[in-house]
Amino acid sequence: MPIKGLIFDAYGTLYDVHSVHAKTEELCPGKGDLITQIWRLKQLEYTWLQTSLQEYRDFTYLTQVSLEFALRAAGVEPSENITKPLFEKYLDLDPYPEAKEALGALKKRGGSQLAILSNGSTAMLSALVKNSGLDALLNATISVDGARKFKPHPDCYALIEKTLGLKNDEVMFVSSNGFDVAGAKHFGFKVAWIRRGGSTPLPPGPVGPAQIYRLLRGNPETLGYLQDYTVAALTDLVGLL
């Protein structure tokens, strides 16, 4: 069955979640790296916790409370002067350098719908794709708000057929996140994993927060739900098709 839809995760796949680092360091000197990494790890943990509790509070809320956790964990008392600009940066994350080129080439090639399926709330994703200009290259931006659960719950991936009318064997799902790769593969999609830096050798000396995050999120999971393809960058997807 030919691939009729390339569906992308947003955070960490099309957009660099760590592009908040410069603003975090500016507002919390000497603690930007630590806060940035704790923020993202706690944000993910809260999505899984909320789904396990069978209680839905959207990604906007979880992004805000995970930021407050990260600040306090690093010894910084949250205040609007810090939390407001950091949250606003999450609405204007930097796309990875090859994102526009890759989506543009895939759109020009034709034959497949291009869409996002993300844990992001509808409001956050709308702002993000508009601010980055990627909205012009996408057929749809799908939020898990429609399932009231977070990935990797199967109900989230089912939104693709509900929104785009695509069957499982017509979809290639693209993510850099191991939990998302496992969820999409378990659901029945073809999956391409963007390996972002996990194989880069560690520098000598102490391991910092960014390296720990890269080791956790930049290596394949070992539960057996393996990706069909591994690529180094989004531009490699054109060759797969």
Active site residue 180: no
Alpha helices of the chain — where are they, by DSSP H? 21-27, 32-52, 59-73, 80-90, 99-109, 122-132, 154-157, 159-164, 178-187, 209-217, 237-240
Is the distance from CB of 140 to CB of 6 less than 8 angstroms? no
**Cα(133)–Cα(94) distance, integer angstroms:** 11
Indicate which residue of 9, 33, 58, 180 is catalytic: 9
Q: Which residues face 229 on adjacent strands?
A: 192
Q: Is the N-terminal amide bond of 152 cis, ω within 30° of 0?
A: yes
Among 109, 67, 58, CA closest to 88: 67
3-state helix, strand, coil in the chain (%, to 5): 50, 15, 35
Q: Is 12 left (phi over 0), alpha (psi -120 to 50) or beta?
A: left
Label the pairing between strands 113-118 and 140-143.
parallel
- Which among 230, 212, 106, 223 has a CA at the least distance from the CA of 175? 230
d(CA 83, CA 227): 36
Q: How far apart are CA 106 and CA 137, in angstroms?
A: 9
Catalytic annotation, residues: 9
